Structure 1
Amino acid sequence: MSWLRALKHTARTGMKVERTRLEPLVALRAAIGLAIVIGFGLAFLGPGAAASSAFGAFMAAIATFQKSWRPRPVLALASGLTLAVSTFVGYLVGSSHTGLFLALLAVWTFTAGLLWAAGPTAGIIASGNVAVMLVTVTLPTSVAQAAGHAAMIAAGGVVQALLIVLFPIRRWGAQRDALADALAAEADYARRLRHDPVCAFDPQPLMRARDAATVTARQARRRPAELHGARGLAERVRPVLASLADPAVGAPAEGPARDRVRELLDAAGTVLDAAARAIRHGDPVRLPAPALAVLKSPDTVDLLTGAPQRAARRLAALLDDVLETAEPRSGRLVAPDESMLRPTLTALVPTVLRSVRAELHPDSPILRHAVRVTGVACAGYLIGQVLPFGHGYWAPMASVMIMRPDFSQTYARAVARFTGTLVGVAVATGIVQLAQPGMYLSGFLAVVSAGLMYVLMRTGYAVSQVCVSAYVVFLLGMGGVRWDQTVPDRVALTLVGGLLAMLAYALYPAWETPRLRTRLADWIAADGRYAAAVLGHYAAPADARRADVRTALLAARDARIDWQDAVDRAAGEPVRHRGLSRAAADGAGEAVAAFGRNAMLLEAHLPDRSQAPVPGAAAMAEAVRADTEAGAKAVRERGVPGWERVRALVSQESAPVWGARDPGVLRAAGEQLLEALDEVSEALRT
């Protein structure tokens, strides 16, 4: 993609307005918290302290809207307290010497950039705190006042946390939605399998449900029972659905057995949808009688035999468990030692340090982002001091809020922020000129602007920036700052900050396109380990552990998501493909996904511990592992992989690996594994 096309693409992306579900009650609660701290500050401490507390409450509320499964009060407190510390330290350093403050800004910004290694929530909160710190350090005039302002900022975070605790809205709602979305995705998959027996399934909803199911010890003691078991059942339903529908290992492509499979898949979709609705709303399960009758119908025994019959019976048993688990108050609360526990914030520190340390190498996009944002923040601060404007901090503040580790987000946010700032300050200026608001009315208008931002936050960055710009104008108006003292400065310096951010990425990029081969190689190797783990279970059923298969599956899913994210980011970059064209990437991705799907079909028929080992399965597992590791190495080195070991075993028609209780399943799966691997090689030749 050329630079011109890339700029057009990112501009359209930045100005895009999404249609998404709004959360007005949650936004109202956040706005009320902001109103409380502003009102208290204006009534008892003056406009300066009110502005400080407003920034603390404002950023704490934004933290609670991030996509994180941690308790919302914890996020609010973490945001408020870290911003308070940043403000106090920043004032102590900045009040004595500009050079020292610049050094502190560099350290703070570099650290915030590295915290993206811990995830987007940590990165966003840290970046926001650095940006707001640039404003709040200008409000106090003495050390005592700085301590008071820091205390007010922390109080803003405490108020938001208390409101979340005292007035919970749709308790466990995010976890319910994640689990319900996973079950609904399974239902949609079952229906699509009726028409396309080999259709693809996106594991994202299942992975999101797993993240939602990882809770703190305190949450585990209070989690409703219906949120505990259904996710694991959904994970086990998916391979059974696929094996039942696939003509190679399930029912024939046409005939009465296929018609019966279509009925079973439709009924499964109905059951899963009913369970999803019950979990989402906490209501009893309402299941149409015909769907349950289809699953229990005795003619399954007459129409289906062998592997399809076992899959149908397994499906019926799993769906029974899903219905039982999805029923509200269906059982006891889950003990903490039976849950996937999330570490506390203090216990998370060593993990974050390890993640950051892993990014300290020249090719790391996180390290490059930290270096970029540090250089831009310092340059923006100096430029803001030199330019004949007041409020020079707006240039570095805009840069820090705009910049992200990838190209598309940075450029899209730069366009969206400048456009949103223009519209927001224009609207706010018009209101100020018409209403001539005083201190309290300015505070009220600031709260309204923030409330609108909370409501519309997920509709698009440009929309939220309109509200944020108006919020800042009204907030500064509380202290008597006239609009003509802020609007021109803010618009001009926001443009400077945006241009600096865009220029920095162009000069010191972290392109995803050259890393596509590495991402693909990682996915091939992870899928190979998953397939080898499944085959290893056939080789030694008595000694095998299903947990090993599960661990390999999760690693393969992570690798697949990394690949998909990389492809999406690379699609908007203005660089050449450097050895992996878009067509080759698409073809190879589809082939590796098919390889993983074929391994999943084998997983659906894993033997019990009591069954005899499958002769030759160990040899096949080792061949798959060795070939995929070697193939991954070849992909990284810009070669075309070969699969000689797997091909040699599959081509031996009388090989003992096919001497299982159901040789059709293993033979078909082995041939499909090799076919998918050959398609990977063919795609990479293009």
Structure 2
Amino acid sequence: MSWLRALRETARSGLTVERRRLEPAIAARAALGLALVIGFSLAVFGPAVAASSAFGAFQAAIATFQRSWRPRPTLALASGASLAVSTFLGYVTGAHELLFLALLLLWTFLAGLVWAAGPTVGIIASSNVAIMLVTVTLPTSVAEAAGHAAMIFTGGVVQAALVVLLPVRRWGAQRDALADALAAEADYARRLRHDPVAPFDPVPLMTARSAAAVTPGQARRRPAELAGARGLAERIRPVLASLADPAVGVPEEGPERARVRELLAAAGAVLDAAAHAIRHGDPVDLPWAAAAALRTPDTGEILNGPSRRAAVRLAALLGDVVETAEPRTETSGGSGGSGAAKSGTSGSAASGAAEPPAHTPRTRPSLARLTPVVLAKMRAEMRRDSPILRHAIRVSAVTAAGYLLGAVLPFGHGYWAPMASVMVMRPDFTQTYARSVARFGGTLVGVALATAIVQSAHPDVYLSAVLAVLCAFTMYLLMRTGYAAGQVFVSAYVVFLLDMEGAGLTQTVRDRVTLTLLGGVLAMLSYAVYPAWETPRLRGRLADWLASVGRYAAAVVARYADPAGTGSPDVRQALLDTRAARVAWQEAVERATHEPVRHRGLSHAAVEQADNALAEFGRVAMLMEAHVPERGAPPVPAAATLAESLHRATERGAKEVRERREPHWEDLRETVDAWSADPPDHFLLHKGAVLLLDVLEELTTALTESRRH
């Protein structure tokens, strides 16, 4: 993609406003906390302290809106505390230009490096630097600096207290995540009626798994219906695929296929009903037609073999889902146990990917225990080829340059330039350029409107405070609809706060917009000069996915050789690793799509063909997992040879993909050829091996054609 086209595409995405569900109650709660902090600070300490404390409450509220499964009060307190420390250090060093510049470089570098721990922490750290640049212009002594820092932390405490005292839809995010996973399964079941090999996006299941991790305190308060249903949804997916797939199920036409379509439609209706019940905390309203279709006695007469076993298992698992989704008053430990026990007898006995019992929740470390983990991730990124390290270097250099340029230019309040840079810069090209355009457009509108109001109406201190709170409420309300929409009101919020304190009266719209444009241009130029393109790393991402899906298939096949063994955790972990590698590949492809660089070894056609091939490889492995023998079943010795061949072939193939060579599959081909005369005594094992080999050959063809092109 050319630079001109890349800039056009990223600009369009940055200015896009999405239609999203608004949450006025949460926005009003955040604005109430801000109003309380500003009002108290104005009445007791005056406009300067009110302005700094308002930034603390404002940032703490934004932290609670970030996508995180941690308790929202914890995020508000962490944001308030980190911002208080940042601003106090900035206040102390602000009078010494070189010392403050050194602090700004260090703080911005650490804020860029902390993106290794995830976007939530990265956004909070970047916002701390941006707000520090504004607030350090307010106090004049160390004592005042300490007071301002204390009030900033108080703003975080107020927002945390309001989250506790005025809860809005407790466990709403976790309910939505689990309901979305069940709804995705329902949609998958309906699509399988028309396309027996329809793809499935595992992201909803991955999101639900992240949401299911709780702290010990959360585990004691978690609603019973949020425990157990996710594990059942995990086991339902391969059963649905096995029931629909003609390779291991019923023919594509005929009475058997008609019954399968009926069962899939019923499964979709039941899963939708369970999703609705979990999302709203209501009893499950089970459609009678779906229940009748699942209970009809002639299913065993129409279906036989693998399809009959899949139908019986599906009905049992759906029954467990309905039971688990019913709201109950007991604690999660007592209620989750029965659902898990029942699902263990009906569905998990034959599945190598069984979930842990629902009464043993996935634990999430506290913030204190998470600190060494974050530090370890940051240390791991200290290598030359790390995109996170490149981002940290870029953002620190750009912020320092913007600060110096803002100080030299005759506009005053030069912090608008570095503030714009640090807020728009992200580790990847697409987000940085899109947010730069959105930041400039939003700032242009917001600053123009707010400055026009200030210069025409000349509001007093209290009216400026009211206007700032209204802007903050609107930003909280619209922040999920698009970055540009939020920036309009963020910019207006800053203008009204500065007018309340009297610090921004001498600066015009032209000055603020020019400095914001300067910050955005510096951010965009930095990525052009010191990039971290995703395109050259696509082969590495593809190799990671190939290796992980190969380990998953090998773990599944190994269960055929030893049904009574301890392979179940291996299958589960291999499946999770495969999902993570697949999502990392897809995100890399999405980022690389808009990069203005030519491909290095993978054309767009090769990317699409390789994606289809490995997705099909994973689907075949999932079909084999759906029919893993139950514990105590006779082993299939030939499966051990296939498992070893799969592991060796995919590991070597991944190495060849990384080294830009054509992957070969001799081990697997030899195993399949050896079975041509004497296939293993299992209805799926030999067929599955042939399908896996065919898919890997398609991958080789895609990479070969890409290299030749």
**Shared fold per TM-score greater than 0.5:** yes
User: Deviation at 1:481?
Assistant: 4.2
Q: Which residue of 2 aligns with 1:610?
A: 632
Check conservation: 1:194, 1:265, Cα contact below 8 A: yes
Q: Which residue of 2 aligns with 1:375?
A: 397
Q: Which residue of 1 aligns with 2:701?
A: 682
Q: Output the CA distance in 2 between the equivalents of 1:189 and 1:11.
A: 34
Q: Which residue of 1 aligns with 2:424?
A: 402
Q: Output the CA distance in 2 between the equivalents of 1:655 and 1:449.
A: 75
Check conservation: 2:411, 2:507, Cα contact below 8 A: no
**What whole-Å deviation, never above 9, does each CA across 1:311-362 have from its counterpart, x for those lacking one?**
0000000000000000001754228971101000110112112211211111
Q: Which residue of 1 aligns with 2:176?
A: 177
> Does residue 416 of structure 1 match 2:416?
no
Amino acid at match of 2:385: D
Question: For the aligned residues, what is the CA RMSD?
Answer: 1.2
Q: Which residue of 1 aligns with 2:617?
A: 595
Check conservation: 2:558, 2:567, Cα contact below 8 A: no
Amino acid at match of 1:304: L
Q: Output the CA distance in 2 between the equivalents of 1:108 and 1:482.
A: 25
Check conservation: 1:473, 1:486, Cα contact below 8 A: no
Q: Which residue of 1 aligns with 2:337?
A: none
State how 1:579-590 maps to structure 2 within 5 Å.
Answer: 579-590=601-612
Q: Which residue of 2 aligns with 1:669?
A: 688
Q: Output the CA distance in 1 between the equivalents of 2:291 and 2:260.
A: 14
Q: Which residue of 1 aligns with 2:644?
A: 622
SS of the aligned residue for 1:543 comes to coil
Amino acid at match of 1:626: R
> Does residue 25 of structure 1 match 2:44?
no
SS of the aligned residue for 1:310 comes to helix
Check conservation: 1:473, 1:483, Cα contact below 8 A: no
Q: Output the CA distance in 2 between the equivalents of 1:182 and 1:235.
A: 9
Q: Which residue of 1 aligns with 2:314?
A: 315
SS of the aligned residue for 2:250 comes to coil
**What whole-Å deviation, never above 9, does each CA across 1:178-235 have from its counterpart, x for those lacking one?**
0000000000000000000001000000000000001111111100010010000000
TM-score, normalised by the number of residues in structure 1: 0.98
Q: Output the CA distance in 1 between the equivalents of 2:608 and 2:621.
A: 20
Q: Output the CA distance in 2 between the equivalents of 1:658 and 1:458.
A: 55
State how 1:249-264 maps to structure 2 within 5 Å.
Answer: 249-264=248-263
User: Deviation at 1:436?
Assistant: 2.2
Q: Output the CA distance in 2 between the equivalents of 1:119 and 1:657.
A: 48
> Does residue 487 of structure 1 match 2:509?
yes
Q: Which residue of 1 aligns with 2:68?
A: 68
Check conservation: 2:227, 2:359, Cα contact below 8 A: no
Q: Output the CA distance in 2 between the equivalents of 1:653 and 1:537.
A: 19
Q: Output the CA distance in 1 between the equivalents of 2:655 and 2:566.
A: 28
Amino acid at match of 2:690: E
Q: Which residue of 2 aligns with 1:150?
A: 149
Q: Which residue of 2 aligns with 1:524?
A: 546
SS of the aligned residue for 1:76 comes to helix
Q: Output the CA distance in 1 between the equivalents of 2:678 and 2:157.
A: 67
> Does residue 85 of structure 1 match 2:85?
yes
Correspondence for 1:504 among 507, 526, 530: 526
Q: Output the CA distance in 1 between the equivalents of 2:174 and 2:598.
A: 41
When structure 1 is superposed on structure 2, of 11-20 and 353-362 the one drifting more is 353-362
User: Deviation at 1:59?
Assistant: 0.4
User: Deviation at 1:93?
Assistant: 1.9
User: Deviation at 1:5?
Assistant: 0.3
Amino acid at match of 2:491: S
Check conservation: 2:114, 2:121, Cα contact below 8 A: yes
Q: Output the CA distance in 1 between the equivalents of 2:415 and 2:521.
A: 15
Check conservation: 2:446, 2:488, Cα contact below 8 A: yes
Q: Output the CA distance in 2 between the equivalents of 1:375 and 1:482.
A: 26
State how 1:211-610 maps to structure 2 within 5 Å.
Answer: 211-329=210-328, 331-334=330-333, 338-481=360-503, 483-610=505-632
User: Deviation at 1:418?
Assistant: 0.6
User: Deviation at 1:485?
Assistant: 2.0
When structure 1 is superposed on structure 2, of 470-479 and 174-183 the one drifting more is 470-479
Check conservation: 1:615, 1:656, Cα contact below 8 A: no
SS of the aligned residue for 1:606 comes to coil
User: Deviation at 1:545?
Assistant: 3.0
User: Deviation at 1:482?
Assistant: 5.5
TM-score, normalised by the number of residues in structure 2: 0.95
Q: Output the CA distance in 2 between the equivalents of 1:621 and 1:331.
A: 44
Amino acid at match of 2:204: P
**What whole-Å deviation, never above 9, does each CA across 1:6-55 have from its counterpart, x for those lacking one?**
00011101100011111110000000000001111111110000001100
User: Deviation at 1:307?
Assistant: 0.5
Q: Output the CA distance in 2 between the equivalents of 1:245 and 1:543.
A: 29
SS of the aligned residue for 1:614 comes to coil
Q: Which residue of 1 aligns with 2:663?
A: 641
Q: 1:468 to 1:300 in 2, by over 3 A?
A: same
Q: 1:482 to 1:91 in 2, by over 3 A?
A: closer
Check conservation: 1:102, 1:378, Cα contact below 8 A: yes
User: Deviation at 1:657?
Assistant: 5.8
SS of the aligned residue for 2:196 comes to coil
Amino acid at match of 2:262: E
User: Deviation at 1:643?
Assistant: 1.1
**What whole-Å deviation, never above 9, does each CA across 1:541-571 have from its counterpart, x for those lacking one?**
1113322100000000000000000000000
Q: Output the CA distance in 1 between the equivalents of 2:677 and 2:482.
A: 58
User: Deviation at 1:655?
Assistant: 6.2
Q: Output the CA distance in 2 between the equivalents of 1:473 and 1:381.
A: 19
**What whole-Å deviation, never above 9, does each CA across 1:588-612 have from its counterpart, x for those lacking one?**
0110010001000011011112011
Q: Output the CA distance in 2 between the equivalents of 1:479 and 1:201.
A: 54
Q: Which residue of 2 aligns with 1:16?
A: 16
**What whole-Å deviation, never above 9, does each CA across 1:111-166 have from its counterpart, x for those lacking one?**
11110000000100001001111111111111110000000000000000000000
Q: 1:330 to 1:591 in 2, by over 3 A?
A: farther
Task: Count the aligned residue pairs.
Answer: 682
Please list every run of 5 or more consecutive structure 2 residues that lacks an aligned counterpart in the other structure: 335-357
Amino acid at match of 1:82: S
User: Deviation at 1:102?
Assistant: 0.8
SS of the aligned residue for 1:478 comes to helix
Percent of residue pairs identical? 68
**What whole-Å deviation, never above 9, does each CA across 1:250-279 have from its counterpart, x for those lacking one?**
111111111100000000000000000000
Please list every run of 5 or more consecutive structure 1 residues that lacks an aligned counterpart in the other structure: none
Q: 1:622 to 1:390 in 2, by over 3 A?
A: same
Q: Output the CA distance in 1 between the equivalents of 2:289 and 2:535.
A: 51
Q: 1:655 to 1:237 in 2, by over 3 A?
A: farther
Q: Output the CA distance in 1 between the equivalents of 2:505 and 2:101.
A: 28
Check conservation: 2:551, 2:574, Cα contact below 8 A: yes
When structure 1 is superposed on structure 2, of 38-47 and 86-95 the one drifting more is 86-95
SS of the aligned residue for 1:340 comes to coil
Amino acid at match of 1:470: A
Amino acid at match of 1:580: L
When structure 1 is superposed on structure 2, of 402-411 and 539-548 the one drifting more is 539-548
Q: Which residue of 1 aligns with 2:349?
A: none
